[in-house]
């Protein structure tokens, strides 16, 4: 084989390997906020829990609360569009607590009266397909 052909082939393989390595590093570094899906859990503590709205998402898909105890959800809107948070008996069910719609940069509190043990549905009424989750109330 021609020596210059082998050098070109080795150089091409080296370039390909470097490209793959840099691509893998770029995809696996950072704080993960932009690429990781929502899905965390927030627990009511001291009668309150704070939820942030950003990038048309809530960072949690589960809120955990204690049965028989009223609590407050503080919604912080870090998005550029309006949001709220409301509680329903189930997806498509009866409204239990309706949150005020707020603009980006605003904060609002939603008082939730004591609930029986069970699972409930929470969502942003303006973006229900993207911003929703389960309120788990345990005894």
Judge if 24 and 46 occupy the same domain. Answer: no
Residue 35 lies in a domain: no
- For residue 137, what are its two tokens? 């109330």
Q: What is the pLDDT of residues 32-51, one digit of tens each?
A: 333 334 579 999 999 999 99
- Which residues span the domain enclosing 3? 1-30
Residue 66, classed as helix, strand or coil, is strand
Judge if 102 and 129 occupy the same domain. Answer: yes
DSSP alpha helix (H) spans, the chain: 3-28
pLDDT value for 70: 98
Judge if 49 and 2 occupy the same domain. Answer: no
Q: Largest Cα–Cα distance in the chain?
A: 82
Decide: 117 and 67 in contact? Cβ < 8 Å. yes
Of 92, 60, 64, the closest CA to residue 75 belongs to 60
Q: What is the pLDDT of residues 12-28, one digit of tens each?
A: 544 444 444 444 334 33
Judge if 76 and 13 occupy the same domain. Answer: no
Judge if 92 and 113 occupy the same domain. Answer: yes
The structure tokens 């696996």 sit at 28
Judge if 56 and 87 occupy the same domain. Answer: yes
Over residues 107-121, the mean pLDDT reads 99
Between 100 and 12, where is the model more confident?
A: 100
Residue 15 lies in a domain: yes
Say how many domains are in the chain: 2
- For residue 13, what are its two tokens? 């393989």
Judge if 50 and 108 occupy the same domain. Answer: yes
Decide: 123 and 112 in contact? Cβ < 8 Å. no
pLDDT value for 137: 99
């Amino acid at each position: 084989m021609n020596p210059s052909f082998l050098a070109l082939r080795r150089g091409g393989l080296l370039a390909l390997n470097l490209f793959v390595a840099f691509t893998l590093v770029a995809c696996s570094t950072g704080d993960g906020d932009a690429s990781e899906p929502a899905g965390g859990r927030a627990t009511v503590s001291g009668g309150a829990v704070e939820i942030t709205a950003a990038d048309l998402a809530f960072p949690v898909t589960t809120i955990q609360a204690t049965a028989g105890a009223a609590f407050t959800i503080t919604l912080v809107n870090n998005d550029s569009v309006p949001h709220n948070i409301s509680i329903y008996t189930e997806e498509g069910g009866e409204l239990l607590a309706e949150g005020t719609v707020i603009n980006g940069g605003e904060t609002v509190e939603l008082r939730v009266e004591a609930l029986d043990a069970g699972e409930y549905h929470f969502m942003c009424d303006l973006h229900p397909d993207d911003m929703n989750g389960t309120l788990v109330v345990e005894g």
